Structure 1
């Protein structure tokens, strides 16, 4: 009996398609882009609000969104995890307060409002959004890391390691850090999705990027006027953003479930 080819799981497909378009798409766009009539049916997906080929804009519009979100999330973890672990492992309540209270002040400001405030003083450009989104995600990452490290720091094994003369740095990296990996992995999917939405929201609001930039969120915003004339300029980038976010969450959920069974 002839075997059927394996079926690609839906969560992998949802993640792979937008990632492939975002990262490899710019290599398939010609160097010289022409303009035609706005919201016409020319090309595979028609044209956008200034007459550019929508298909070319889709291929160009995902790279900055994905890379900025990845950089922002990586930066938040590189800073936030050591910050939270240091606060959890200190035996002085004063130091714990000094480390965590400034982050609570950042949490008190709504993320979108903080994004707008920080973007007004930052240089204009998509890449300037990376440190802003990183700063917005930093308090949550540090608090999650501190909560996870507090439970680990209370274990008898940690006290035994201290009595044996292990350095604080060695304990933090080799024992506490390794014990936190599953918690951080569970948080990573949500955090990365949140970073994607923040970067997309900033682009949608015109923060940090030009109003005619080749960006999926900008495309959704700027082409809304022609939604009933040429819907693909809005529908396709919107679907790619949603597919990327849903695919990320589903992929991390499946990976955690599989890891829990092993």
Structure 2
């Protein structure tokens, strides 16, 4: 309910909306409002935010770099929940302990592997591929998602409602996703509120280290890496994309916290009203 949203919720939504709007509409606007390339590391001369080390307009890079910076991370988290969430739900709802063990033991073996090692392998083998970066970040997050979803789903999977659905002949898919899956949505939403920003920074760090996208890409992480050596000469080349990443992560975290806190307050009221 927008009219009843608190100032803190509106501020969080605004913080999140700015980088999302830049990522969505920026590539369309960039050709219309950015001038041709100029001299390296200039401020002014028709370039609102100046130019980078190769003479490219910083504003144009900022407008074009959002889809890879945010899209790859969001796609990676979605893949992680698709794979890890399904595995966690299946392990929680199975009646055969050996299936649970078979599903979760490999997950525990993968968890200790450093994320930078996975990114490095992918970066060396498939340098410059957004799909490869998304798959690597998804592989990093999927084991933790599987463990979280399994733990959150155990009570619902072994509870009376799930048992009654089985006795009534409901399909396994309906029990798995229709009831047990819905029961873990609040936990998954809270986790996603922190996992997406972490994925954004993982993708940005990979690009910063040269393990992700092509160095000529306008991606925000790539432009931060390219401009860091001339930070004092041309600060906008680093500060502008860094501000987009910070606003996205802080806004998403704050908005998720506010929405989940509001939902937690509403549930007792609904339960009280139902008892009446």
Distance 2:128 2:22 in 1: 25
Q: Which residue of 2 aligns with 1:182?
A: 186
SS of the residue 1:29 aligns to: helix
In the alignment, structure 1 residue 212 sits paired with structure 2 residue 222 = no
Question: Which of 84, 90, 97 does residue 94 from structure 2 map onto?
Answer: 90
Q: Which residue of 2 aligns with 1:234?
A: 238
Q: Which runs of 4+ in 1 moved over 4 A?
A: none
TM-score, scaled relative to structure 1: 0.92
Q: Which residue of 1 aligns with 2:38?
A: 36
User: 1:33: how far off?
Assistant: 6.2
What stretches of structure 2 of length at least 5 have no aligned partner?
A: 1-5, 267-276
TM-score, scaled relative to structure 2: 0.87
What stretches of structure 1 of length at least 5 have no aligned partner?
A: 1-5
Deviations 1:185-237 (A, max 9, x none): 11111111121111111111111311121111111111112111111111111
User: 1:80: how far off?
Assistant: 1.5
Aligned residue runs from structure 1 range 190-201, under 5 A? 190-201=194-205
Deviations 1:71-104 (A, max 9, x none): 1111111122111011111122221111111111
Question: Which of 57, 68, 72 does residue 64 from structure 1 map onto?
Answer: 68
Q: Which residue of 1 aligns with 2:13?
A: 12
Count residues with an aligned counterpart: 257
User: 1:168: how far off?
Assistant: 2.5
Q: Which residue of 1 aligns with 2:51?
A: 47
Distance 2:170 2:217 in 1: 53
User: 1:124: how far off?
Assistant: 3.0
SS of the residue 1:69 aligns to: helix
Aligned residue runs from structure 1 range 134-213, under 5 A? 134-213=138-217
User: 1:123: how far off?
Assistant: 5.3
Which structure shows the bigger proportion of residues in helix conformation?
2
Distance 2:198 2:80 in 1: 12
Distance 2:165 2:36 in 1: 67
